[in-house]
Chains A and B, each alone.
Chain A
Amino acid sequence: MPLLEVKDLYLYYRTTRGPVKAVDDVSFFVPEGETLALVGESGCGKTSIGIAILRVLPVNVHLYKGTILFEGNDIMKLNDEEFRRTIRWRKISMVFQGAMNALNPVIPVGLQVAEPLIIHEGMDKDEALKIAMEALESVGLPKIVARRYPHELSGGMKQRVVIAMALIMKPRLIILDEPTSALDIITQANIMNLLKRLKREHKLSYIFITHDLALASEIADRVAVMYAGEIVELGTAEQVYLSPKHPYTQKLIAAVPTLRTEKKLEFIPGEVPSLINPPPGCRFHPRCPYKKPVCSKVRPKLIEVEKDHLVACHLYE
């Protein structure tokens, strides 16, 4: 039984121009102790999957449905209060995009890290702060940082604080939303190493959301490639990186520069479709070089082309 299983998840946002289909019929699972990387370009619905799992929805939700099984229980059936008490941070926590803004500037970081303990465990401030200091140490920060305010810390330190905050309740799954964006490459590498070490030490599972294929390859056991609100390809890291099946994935990997081999960088013609009026049939068909007549009519389903390797493309039917 996988730790997390998402089936037929929808999340639409209401706008004046009509619903935005940010997550449109998405299914995947995360086995215990594994990392699933969600990759895709900006605005394809990666972050929406994260907030849909943790149910921190904005006010303008149009449609939110599907099944999310966590340890075999359907957590979509819990009411908000039960969900808040039993799932958030106890089982699933999240590192939000942009650590620069993920900390309140007027509260010392130690207290912010300790907040979930105070809320969920009813601990007093000092006790919670002590545990928060240990958590800060476990992410490689000195204890003294607990008393600092966010503006006194560097970007990398803030990111570590945010990770410590996600760890504080010892969850089983952490959703990492672009945890290294806005960090320089060295700090990025340090954070990635930290994440790997924490995963090993605490037997964590990750959902790693990124637009950076190379970065995802660092940590991912399995990779899900998203395009316009859908998962177009899902497989182990080797499968996706070494033998991409979906034309979009192939184009995407061809567009990534590499240091050691000479290759001409490719680009994908056209532009990202609007999520309000996505193209009919396969959403990638207006940009696809292998387009067939069926592509603009029938929406392809995810099919298993080899073991554990799923692709949504009419080419493989």
Chain B
Amino acid sequence: MSAPPVGAKAILKEVLRTKSGIIAIAILAFLVCVVVIVPLYAPYDVVKKWNDPRAWLDNPRCAAPEWVELMVGKKLPRTIKISMEDFRATKYSTVLSHGNLTIKLIRMMAYFDYDYDDFPSEFGIMANMTCLKGMKVDIKLIRPDGDEILLLSKVFSSGESSFMLSSGDSEVKLIASNYVAEVTGISPSLRLPQVILFAEKSEDMWNPSKAKVLKGRYKIVLEATSFTPEDDIDLEVIIYGKVFGVFGTDSLRRDLLVGLLWGAPVALAFALTAATAVTLIQTFLGIVSGYFGGKVDEIIQRFTDLMMIIPVLPILILISFLYRIGIWLLLVIIVGFSIVGSTTKVVRSMVLQIKEEQYILAAVSYGASSWRIIFRHIFPRVLPYTFSLIALAVPSYIFLEAALSFLGLGDPVLPTWGKILGEAHAEGAAYYGYWWWILIPAGFIALTAIAFALLGYAIDKIVNPRLREI
């Protein structure tokens, strides 16, 4: 039997000799890269806004990843945003005065080229205004085929400061349906403004599965009339696409890339800390139990039996449910519940063997204290085994955190993989076919778990030479 490798460097070298070790190190290197890159791509400020819907208004809802295009072979719509600045650039206003009567006319216009093979998912129009004496606002959409559709024609009373119009509003739906009736003579059974307004004129222009996209340059024109020179209006238009970013978005328009990337450091930090702390504490108590023996051994072992039969998960669920704790407090509680466990038992049995070895007797005889023997002679002997236990324990803590988050009992602030999955479940992502919202976080969890499991097996093979022959 060859001697066990000594030191972290030697162990790493040995790990890289096995296939599973190479795969594990490769995946871990990738995850470490992710952890390093995350703060550059999405600083912590972005994560703090994760639960603030206003921060994500510019993104489409439940959009698939952009690379889906490669699979469907169509050019899928991206989100087009025409900002207030774009409109302001074309703003033209005149003030007409005649005696007491003052009229201010505002007109602005913006255009966008729409040449995607699918309809937008939604659109929205937002306006901020200063309206002292009432204002009449007309907003028109001019299609590439020349048709003009009046989206809004409304008089606002004094004091109003903003309005919003979206493809989900019933007025807009009515306008769209009237437009179909005008073109085809029949009222459509489905009133989807985002389809009708962007479709080529035909019998089926209301039907999203049959209608053809009208490509070309669309214009949006705003005309406003008010009665004081101070009145003003600014407009913003967003045509939401159907694909977004690398990992798509969820139902709250959040960029899943941000959430999933931030999930990596959170999951790794959580699982690694939990696994390391739990394994080291259990190892330490196992050594103490095995080395000192007698009453100490009895107390630690019976306490271990007790803790091992206490079901931790239901207790964690109860605690999370009652106190709504953050992820780091959860970590402390998990470690607290796991200070003894199977590792304590395994390490104790190893120590019972090690403490009978000659060099321990020699150490006692040259006057080493018990603690010195424990830390200098016994701990290094069980350490390699501890490494493999840590690696093998990491997946279970990733799953534990994911399970709690899935149940809605995870960290209230930070995005984690389990939480994203839990929200996907709550929003019926599986039912609606938002596969990216389920498969990508699940894939991250599985990938990380596999990496640590493979690493654990690789280390296990090294520290447990009998396994090498298998």
Contact = CB atoms under 8 A, between A and B. Distances in A.
Nearest to A56: B365
A282 interface: no
Contacts of B362: 94, 96, 102, 162, 165
B361 interface: yes
A105 B366 contact: no
Interface in A116-137: 116, 119-120
B293 A115 contact: no
B6 A106 contact: yes
B348 to A, nearest CB: 16
Interface string B8-33: 00000000000000000000000000
Contacts of B364: 56
Contact of B3 (A112, A149, A169): A149
A105 B3 contact: yes
A247 B357 CA distance: 37
A119 B372 CA distance: 9
User: Does more than half of chain B's interface fall in helix, strand or loop, or is it mixed?
Assistant: helix
Given A59-B293, A106-B381, A107-B376, A89 B367 contact: yes
Nearest to A150: B3
A88 B366 contact: yes
Contacts of A162: 362
Contacts of B92: none
Given A59-B293, A106-B6, A115 B380 contact: no
Contact of B359 (A59, A101, A151): A101
Contacts of A51: 365
A217 to B, nearest CB: 27
B8 to A, nearest CB: 12
Given A98-B358, A101-B358, A106 B380 contact: yes
B363 A105 contact: no
Contacts of A107: 376-377, 380
Given A106-B380, A119-B372, A84 B367 contact: yes
B336 interface: no
Contacts of A116: 366-367
Main SS of the interface on chain A?
Answer: mixed
A54 B376 CA distance: 22
Given A107-B380, A149-B6, A102 B359 contact: yes
A59 B367 CA distance: 17
A239 interface: no
B4 to A, nearest CB: 7
A94 B367 contact: no
B368 interface: yes
Contacts of A88: 365-367
A290 B304 CA distance: 61
Contacts of B294: 59
A96 B381 CA distance: 20
Contacts of B380: 104, 106-107
A165 B362 CA distance: 10
A56 B369 CA distance: 13
Interface in A223-258: none
Contacts of B293: 59
Interface string A9-29: 000000000000000000000
Interface of A: 51, 54, 56, 59, 84-85, 88-89, 93-94, 96-98, 101-107, 112, 115-116, 119-120, 149-151, 162, 165, 169
27 contacts: A54-B365, A56-B361, A88-B365, A89-B367, A93-B365, A94-B362, A94-B365, A96-B358, A96-B361, A96-B362, A96-B365, A101-B357, A101-B359, A102-B359, A102-B362, A104-B377, A106-B6, A107-B377, A115-B366, A115-B376, A116-B367, A119-B369, A119-B372, A120-B367, A149-B3, A150-B3, A169-B366
Given A56-B361, A119-B367, 4 more contacts: A59-B294, A89-B365, A115-B363, A150-B3
